Structure 1
Amino acid sequence: MKQPSFFAKILLFGEYGIIENAKGLTIPYNFYKGTLKFVDAEEHSDSNEKLMEFAAYLSSEMPDSFDIERLEKDLAAGMYFDSDIPQGYGVGSSGALVAAIYDQYAHNPIATNGLSKGKISELKTILGKMESYFHGKSSGIDPLICYMNIPLLINSKDDIDTVGLPEEKAGKGAIFLINSGVPGKTEPMVQAFFEKMKNEGFRKTMHKEFTKYNDACIDAFVKGKTEPLFKNLKNLSTWAFANFKPMIPTRLLNAWENGIQSNDYYLKLCGSGGGGFVLGFTKDFEKAQQSLPDFELEPFYRF
């Protein structure tokens, strides 16, 4: 059978902030994708076994929402998730898997076309409960973007809407990914964040400063306003360097600080951090490449 593909995602803005009701902006990243497939081969037994464990979770926690019998039958026939989305890199590997299972095995899956805010919120809740199996707790945002495959503006936990983005231009500017070289683990990073939130000083700066810079970046990016975008990106990158240092991959600490000092580029977390990809923004991609000779930069949006 021919199965649909589900693409990776990038959370441009809102990492950790969306947990505290700040805004977020997430976009599909079609460079990576995953598809449910059938094959009689030992090389995919690991994926098949992990899907069986996920199916057992769905059978226990959400039995009325899925055709568990058909899912288990297909897994017994060797179904696996064929994915090139790197795991632990902040681009939605578990989100794409959750989206694929929901699409094929949910009873009456919600269609993606013309969804109201209420339906988007309902879908996010279902997908979040599914993805909680992988991360302990999930907002549902990652599988939602992987399932809908269109940019989403997160105004708050219960207010999510589709959004149009400025068209790409063949300019000098770029948003890019840097590979830290090591995968990150979402659950311990999120737990560390909640520990930090117990500190009143951190909580105050998170709600006042992070939210201010983060939301201003989103507003400027959506409206295509480069100058206010980069002004607030510098503030956001500086704030993260001071307050999110445990989440910044060690290999990128010097590069992160260099970007703030040189203004050649600014770095920010891509997802929960600790490893995986880091996001970069620059007005001059060639200059950023020259300033980061030890890293391979993967541009995905030009302006």
Structure 2
Amino acid sequence: MKGPLFYAKILLFGEYGIIKDSKGLAIPYNAYRGALKASENLSGTALESNLNLSRFYAYLLALKTDLVSFNLVAFKEDIQSGMYFDSSIPQGYGVGSSGALVAAIYDKYAADKITILENLTRDKLLNLKTVFGLMESFFHGKSSGLDPLNSYLSLPILINSKDSIEPAGIPSQKEGKGAVFLLDSEQIGETEPMVSLFMNKMKNEGFRKMISEEFSTTSDACIEDFLQGNVASLFGNVKALSKIVLANFKPMIPPAFHKVWENGISTNDYYLKLCGSGGGGYILGFTEDFAKAQKSLKQYKLELVYRF
């Protein structure tokens, strides 16, 4: 048994903002992927994954919803036969490891599933996103459903608001100097504590005002620039966003990277932003000159995502 591949995702813009109904832009990241496999002799991470699938099975068995039903008999039998999720997607890194797993389980066991070959109307996309949010809540406590949606469709997704999402056409990559890259913090980040921290901060009126007037507005402008291919304007807005995140989301940035973050803003060699919920994992970088950014960040591991 070997299932289809499901890819990692990168939320280019919109982290935390999408919880509060501002825009988001997510793209598939094909460097990492996962698939359902089976083995009679499980050990190590495969055994761990199999046990995790048993817990997920119990969660889906107790899930009360009219939106979706699953062939749980087959799911249980496959788990007992040694099924596991074989994945290269790093966990706790903000690139959708649980999202790819959720997409794989939906694809294999959902009854009357919405397929990627259908005409994906707004209602179908919202239905999928809601179902995926319910499923992925097993891993994070609360989920927007965006990661599994991105992995399932393997398309860039534009979130306009909670009730409006659409596949997005992003400009094709160029062989220019500019780039989007991942910086490895070499620390695991946990989504749930970071989201809880954010929700607590949202109780503060000043923080709420900053989110709606500064953070969301700047993030939305970045999305607009990226989709339109306005590279010059994009970097100005990404720099502004990087400053806002440093000033207001410090607990979500690993302490060892506060100075690295400031250095990018002051030298203009690169600009950093959160990749997912933060707290560790990957940090997302934008640069007008990737070679210069590599030189500035030579002691860190960088991965190229997109070229301008």
Q: TM-score range by the shorter chain?
A: over 0.9
CA offsets 1:13-36 (integer angstroms, 9 cap, x no match): 000000001100000000000100
1:7 equivalent in structure 2: 7
1:236-275 pair list within 5 angstroms: 236-275=241-280
Aligned positions of 1:115-154 closer than 5 A? 115-154=120-159
The code of the aligned residue for 1:3 comes to G
- Give distance in 2, aligned partners of 1:255 and 1:172: 21
Point out 4+ residue stretches in structure 1 off by more than 2 angstroms.
Answer: none
| Kept after mapping to 1: 8 A contact 2:42/2:82 | no
C-alpha distance in structure 1 between counterparts of 2:162 and 2:260, whole Å:
33
CA distance in 1, matches of 2:42, 2:131: 32
- Deviation for aligned residue 1:158: 1.1
C-alpha distance in 2 between matches for 1:296 and 1:126: 35
Partner of 1:42: helix, strand, or coil? coil
Distance 2:296 2:48 in 1: 40
Paired with 1:2 and 1:136, the residues of 2 have a C-alpha distance of 29
Aligned-pair CA distance for 1:251: 2.1
1:22 matched to which residue of 2?
22
Q: Secondary structure at the match of 2:32?
A: strand
Per-residue deviation, 1:42: 2.9
Q: In 2, Cα distance between the equivalents of 1:50 and 1:249? A: 28
- Does the CA-based 8 Å contact 2:265-2:271 persist in structure 1? yes
Match of 1:159 in 2: 164
Equivalent residues in 2 for 1:1-303, closer than 5 Å = 1-43=1-43, 44-62=46-64, 65-113=69-117, 114-303=119-308
Shift of residue 62, structure 1, vs aligned partner:
4.5
Query: What's the Cα RMSD here?
Result: 0.9
Mapped partners of 2:57, 2:91: distance in 1: 19
Whole-Å separation in 1 of the counterparts to 2:288 and 2:151: 28
Distance 1:96 1:257 in 2: 33
Matched residues in 2 for 1:96 and 1:293: separation?
Answer: 31
CA distance in 2, matches of 1:227, 1:119: 36
**TM-score with structure 2 length normalisation?**
0.97
The C-alpha deviation readout for 1:262-285, integer Å capped at 9, x for no partner, is 111100000000000000000000
> How far apart, CA to CA, are the structure 1 residues paired with 2:64 and 2:201?
32
Identity of aligned residues (%): 58
Unaligned runs of 5+ in 2: none
1:155 to partner: Cα distance: 0.1
Instruction: Using the TM superposition, name which of 250-259 and 211-220 deviates more.
Output: 250-259
Structure 1 unaligned runs (5+)? none
Tell me the CA shift for residue 300 of structure 1.
Answer: 1.4
Q: What amino acid maps onto 2:48 in structure 1?
A: D
Q: What SS does the corresponding residue of 2:31 show, helix, strand or coil?
A: strand
Q: Distance in 2 between matches of 1:57 and 1:209?
A: 39
Q: Distance in 2 between matches of 1:120 and 1:75?
A: 29
| Residue 108 of structure 1, CA deviation | 1.1
Q: Structure 1: which amino acid aligns with 2:128? A: L
TM-score normalised to the size of structure 1?
Answer: 0.98
Structure 1 residue 118, shift from structure 2 partner: 1.1
